[in-house]
Structure 1
Amino acid sequence: MTGSTLTSSQLADVLAMAWSELGPPAVAVELLHRTGDWLTTLDAAGFLDLDTHPDGTPRATVRWAEAVAALAPDAPPGLLPADLPHDSHHRGVLRIAAALASAVPVDLGAAIGDMDRPTTAHVLAAISRSSQAHLEWFDPRLPDGRPSARWTYRDVGALVDWPTAQEPPQDTELPLWPARVEEEEVARAAAAHPGAAAALPLSEHVAAVLDHLRPIARGYRTMTLGMWGAPGVLDDDVDIDDDGTAFTGPHPALGPGEERLWLRRRVAPGHLHLLLVPAGVDLHTVPFHDLTRAGVTTITTTPPDPDTAPVVAGTDLRNPTGGWTVVRIGEVLAQVTHLEDAVTGIYWIRADGERVGVSIPARPRQAVERLLRWPGVP
């Protein structure tokens, strides 16, 4: 019979029973059982032959060659589903299992070429268990160190054992319960109300979303904020505009001790910058990628570009490259991204197509509240 209703564990058991009587190596079946849904898939596709032993217990065997042939690009449709999920049906696993069962040869390099680490660990264990000698012969030594001339052996086990499930690494950015429950509620509300309006005072919903945006994951910070050794802003081929007449972005009021600086970089003359520089910051020593971390607020305008993708409403509280949400300011959608613990990026496209990007040295809620007080926004 084919197409049974047995689970993967049950199929592994009955196939192991058949191995003890008929072959092939049980490790081939064990590999399929440990790495996904192959056994139930092969059963549903009719590649397992199930029978009943005289003692009443079920038995099963795999038609290995036919199953592997169904993976070929020119195989007749319908033998195996064309949309098998890669994470639980890596085709290389079936080919290697069939080779371990001595049914078909396998090109090992091609079979494992795009295999992930956990699956590769299972393949290594299967190969080790099927082909390595588990017994080690040795000559025990007498108490004074001389050979005893009495050979014996010990079971050293497989060279590579089956991998065990690893505990997931702790997410140090994840708040513990009940804060996690609160975060999940905020995420659900944000998904149900994308592009919520942001105006002073902030609504409870918008404030909660901004407060729950997680900063960029540490693993991405060097990649995103790299360029170590870059020169300071004023040593990086910039042209300074003394009165800022060419700058069309927001002109926020200065904070205590701040100064304005309008400039454009010669490497990107279409990008105009307004910097709000706190007292004591030497722009000869601060590179562009470090401006916000040095306390400098940056506002950049870029000419319209018809190929620019529009801002789309949505929210992702815990994106590795910085939690983000989209809020509506007037008639414009603005994306707010939590770049670092105390750095927020805000980007929007004005009605005339000009793109505006702002980096503010503050957490998202405080940054948005500061932005909404600026004239010329959006």
Structure 2
Amino acid sequence: MIDKIKELISEAESFKAQSKDEVEAFRIKYLGKKGLLNDFFAEFKNVANDQKKEFGQTINKLKKTAEDKVNALKAELESTEEVKGIYGDLSRPGGEPVQIGARHPISIVKNQIIDIFSRIGFNVSEGPEIEDDWHNFTALNLPEYHPARDMQDTFFIQTDPDILLRTHTSSVQVRYMENNTPPIRTISPGRVYRNEAISARSHCFFHQLEGLYIDKDVSFADLKQTLQHFTSEMFGKSEIRLRPSYFPFTEPSAEIDVYWGGLETETDYKITKGTGWLEIGGCGMVDPNVLENCKIDSTEYSGFAFGVGIDRIAMLLHQIGDIRLLSENDVRFLEQFKSAL
């Protein structure tokens, strides 16, 4: 009897299985209620006393061998199934092709602008969308009660009037100047918020990209040349004009117009309102007060800043007639931009 059990131990140790069904059949044969082990335990009472110890030890060894084999085979098969699951059944026929997503038009235009300026040495800086009064207004030459604050209808946090949703990414420029020394050459893309009525041409949130260049002997001519390079690369049009304007953080300040031309078509006529010129942003020389607020010596350094609306440029380049389409996440609208990936 003991020799028979030893043969079964060897058989169990060498057993191999290709499926869970084979493992289960092995388990039932050895460990089931009507399995071999139960038969041997039932026979234990008929074994001679001088053989009981060896008989019991051999039965226990068979039981442990069978249990270990079952557990090992199960783990091996499960591991094989997991690896196979990564790719699925490679023998299956091909189904419907996986749909490719489309990059959002805002991301497309933002990346194009970043690429243009990165080629002339500008890095990218980012900052929080929830800002404090100092970085959004005061450091930018807009002290408390300054009338120019009314130019931007602001979303303030009611529990703390010093905290607000940023109205421009100029706040990022302030943070960058506070933590970096000239020369500075950076662009700051991001989402901004203003309490404006929502319509086809305006929204309570939109996207800006602002640029900042500070170094010794920076002039207005440097600003114009930079803008001409940008409009040439972005629109294929390099003729620009700078109209005098007012911004609290730049002096002198100007609006940026690019010559669009093309008054022959109704679309271009609407884009430029019949003038041939299209306004794309604002710019100017950084006010010395802003430099001093950021601990930069205005007697040694000068600089220029500019800002463009990413949404407006996206609408212009892709002929989008309603700004609300940019935030409604309509898949039918977004699928049109697959070719721009």
Q: TM-score, normalised by structure 2?
A: 0.24
Q: TM-score, normalised by structure 1?
A: 0.23
More helix by share: 2
- More relative contact order in 1 or in 2 (CA 8 Å, sep 6+)? 2
Rg larger in structure = 2
